[in-house]
Every structure is written in structure tokens, then in C-alpha cells.
Amino acid sequence: MTPDGGSAYPGAQLKLIPMKLPFRFVLLVVLTCLQALSSLYGINPDDQPRMRKAIEHLEAAKTAEKPLASLQAARKTLANARPNKEGERIDALGEVKEAIAYATTGDKPKMIEKIDKALGKIRSGIARSR
């Protein structure tokens, strides 16, 4: 220490870094990594938009006077949905195809039964994909 209060070694004074800065930096890095990992592994609140759209089409078909258009839209949407639902999407697609057959013949009760089965399988597929 010199008489004027300085250090005997110029430039040897230590600067203390406030703890807030490193903590904020580490927090930012951790949050960024978590966000990157969540997008990498597909963790997303609505990662099944086509499955949800198929539900809308099927619900509309149940009450429609002419349900064939809604059923065909549901079939197309399901066919284009992501295939990671442990077979539920394929099973639902089969139910929708049968519902289309019943809609074509005019058997509305059987059509609604098939739609309800398809809806159950779609919802199960969405739940399993999380």
C-alpha cells in the first residue's frame, strides 16, 4: 500500500462485480436453454392443431344437415396430422371413413356413433402425444 492509499502494484486493484449481473446472466442463459429444449422436443401447448381442427369438423358434422363435407374435411385433416399418437390417429381415421359411409347411406345414428368414437380416439391421441 502506498502512502496515498493506492496499491504498490498498479492495476492490481480488484473490482468487485455485483452479484446481480452474473445471476441475471445465468438466469437468462438457463431460460434460453429451456426454451430451446422445449422447442426441440416439441413441448408446446398446442402442438396438435390438425387434430384439434379435425375435432371441430367432426363436431360440426354431428349437427349438420349435410355432414358429408365436414366429414371429408375431418378425414383430410386427420390424414395430414402428425403421426405420433400411438395409433390413435389411424384408428380415428378409420372411424371417420366409416362415418362417411353411413352419412352417404343416410344412417345418421350410426354416423354419429362413429363420429363419437373418432372424437374419443382423437382426444386420446392428443393426450398421449404430450
DSSP per residue over 64-96, as a string?
Answer: -SSTHHHHHHHHHHHHTS-S-STTHHHHHHHHH
Res 2: pLDDT: 57
Tens-digit pLDDT profile for residues 2-19: 555 555 555 556 565 555
Report the distance separating Cα 26 and Cα 56, nearest Å.
43
User: What is the average pLDDT score of the chain?
Assistant: 82
How large is the average pLDDT for residues 17-37? 70
Residue 110, CB-side half-sphere exposure with 13 Å CA sphere: 11
Please report the pLDDT score of residue 43 as a whole number.
Answer: 52
Question: pLDDT digits over 43-68, tens only?
Answer: 555 578 999 999 999 999 999 999 99
